[in-house]
Amino acid sequence: MKKENQSILRHNGVNYLLPFILITACFALWGFANDITNPMVKAFSKIFRMSVTDGALVQVAFYGGYFAMAFPAAMFIRRYSYKAGILMGLGLYAAGAFLFLPAKLTGSYYPFLAAYFILTCGLSFLETSANPYILSMGSPETATRRLNLAQAFNPMGSLVGMWVAMNFIQARLHPLDTAGRAQLSEAEFETMKQADLSVLITPYLVIGLVIAAMFLVIRFARMPKDHDGEGNRDSFVTTIRRIFSLRRYRWGVIAQFAYVGAQIMCWTFIIQYGTRVFMADGMAEKAAEVLSQRYNIIAMVIFCSSRFVCTYLLKYINPGRLLFLLAVAASAFTAGVILLRDIWGLYCLVAVSGCMSLMFPTIYGIALDGMGDDAKFGAAGLIMAILGGSVLPPLQAMVIDCGTIGGWPAVNLSFVLPLVCFFVVMYYGHSTARERR
């Protein structure tokens, strides 16, 4: 295995091992940012005594940064280089993390949203740069294996983010629940809020320092030059028209939008879902939240494990066909999340992660297949589709805030939205499998 990994990182006598390690570390770093953020919806709702809908603005700001910066990042990379795009991404990532300190000093919610937006503008640069950069580090014949190897480190960063959120934020916030905070005087509430915000910002300041150090390492490291810089130089509008004229790509962007929305909804609101289940059994809100976050970590472990299994299955199953089968399974489990009101519904929600593991890279690969020089802007469009993680969670939060609908827990019924998203992915997998046949 070691010899095989070395072979995919060497081409024409050049060893890409060190550049590969440095860029692959970036995959873990943006995985960390994604999954330390999901539990923050609940944390901000409690700290600022807000509704779940207001707390979900964290996801709007977070994934809105991806949407806003994807095509500007692609244009920046085409003008300069992949390395420049990586450095710009790390710089914005660090700046957003450090802005948590002045946001805390204001004591207001909205400066935190601005910090998240800047941070994720950096993540948009990183994702738009790192994926094709990894593909370029070696022989074209082994490019897909190289990217799969690098992507395996993304959920590992996610696991660390979840662990930090659970042990260094959620476990250290004041245990008084949302209802209890509403009874505090303004002075008591302000004291508690400042203490909780100090807990919340510490991991972000630490990761800001880590990102700054990574920026310096990559800045002074010897990195490979781009090999595709002599591709076509058509205008932005011409290129966009061309790639969106392709049905497979156009529907790929739609499917990616739906998938990312479903993923973020399932991972963000697993805490609300689990909290309802455990509180129904008499558990206190604080303990229910911590236990729910543990289930969130279990879901990510299953996600990581399933990625390796599904990558192996791709050797034998058409990618569109496997995408279709995973979407069918995800839909079945999501139906269980909606219909079951006890711990079995939570088990179904955890199981959905096993079905989602290969959806993003599979949609990505199918949509860009055969695009040639247009793949750089095509990749930006698929990163832009991460907007689904910004648009759909607030809609689900609005349903959750209803409490009950027709006597049924609103948090259960809110998972109709991810179910619809999985239907879209199912259609895309089925249609592309038929194309390839």
Residue of 343 and 63 predicted with greater confidence? 343
Residues in the chain: 437
Residue of 418 and 134 predicted with greater confidence? 418
- Quick one: pLDDT band at residue 215, thresholds 50, 70, 90? very high
pLDDT at 232 over 60: no
**Residue showing tokens 């349903």:** 399
Beta bridge partners of 11: 14
Strands, E, within 274-388: which ranges?
none
The percent of residues in the chain predicted with pLDDT above 90, rounded, is: 32
In angstroms, the CA 311 to CA 357 distance is: 10
pLDDT for 171-196, tens place per residue?
888 877 667 777 788 888 888 889 99
Residue of 54 and 322 predicted with greater confidence? 322
Q: What is the pLDDT of residue 1?
A: 42
* Residue 15: φ, ψ to 5°: -100, 120
pLDDT at 7 over 80: no
In angstroms, the CA 9 to CA 54 distance is: 46
In angstroms, the CA 39 to CA 34 distance is: 10
Mean pLDDT over all residues of the chain? 84
Q: What is the pLDDT of residue 226?
A: 65
Contact 324, 426 (CB under 8 A): yes
pLDDT at 362 over 80: yes
In angstroms, the CA 48 to CA 41 distance is: 11
In angstroms, the CA 290 to CA 19 distance is: 38
Q: What is the pTM of this model?
A: 0.76
Please tell me whether residue 136 adopts helix, strand or coil conformation: helix
Q: What is the pLDDT of residue 328?
A: 96
Q: What is the pLDDT of residue 436?
A: 58
Residue of 334 and 271 predicted with greater confidence? 334
Residue of 70 and 326 predicted with greater confidence? 326
Q: What is the pLDDT of residue 143?
A: 65
In angstroms, the CA 50 to CA 48 distance is: 5
Q: What is the pLDDT of residue 285?
A: 76
pLDDT for 113-172, tens place per residue?
999 999 999 999 998 888 778 877 877 666 666 776 787 788 888 889 888 988 888 888
Contact 319, 366 (CB under 8 A): yes
Q: 236: how many CB neighbours lie within 10 A of its CB? A: 12
Least confident of 38-52, 187-201, 221-235, 279-293: 221-235
pLDDT at 404 over 70: yes
pLDDT for 61-100, tens place per residue?
887 888 888 889 888 888 888 899 999 999 999 999 999 9
Question: What's the rounded mean pLDDT across residues 362-366?
Answer: 82
pLDDT at 229 over 50: no
pLDDT at 26 over 60: yes
First to last CA, the chain: 33
In angstroms, the CA 423 to CA 330 distance is: 9
Class of residue 348 by CB neighbours under 10 A (exposed 0-12, middle 13-18, buried 19+) = buried
Question: What's the rounded mean pLDDT across residues 252-264?
Answer: 92
The percent of residues in the chain predicted with pLDDT above 70, rounded, is: 91
Please tell me whether residue 408 adopts helix, strand or coil conformation: strand
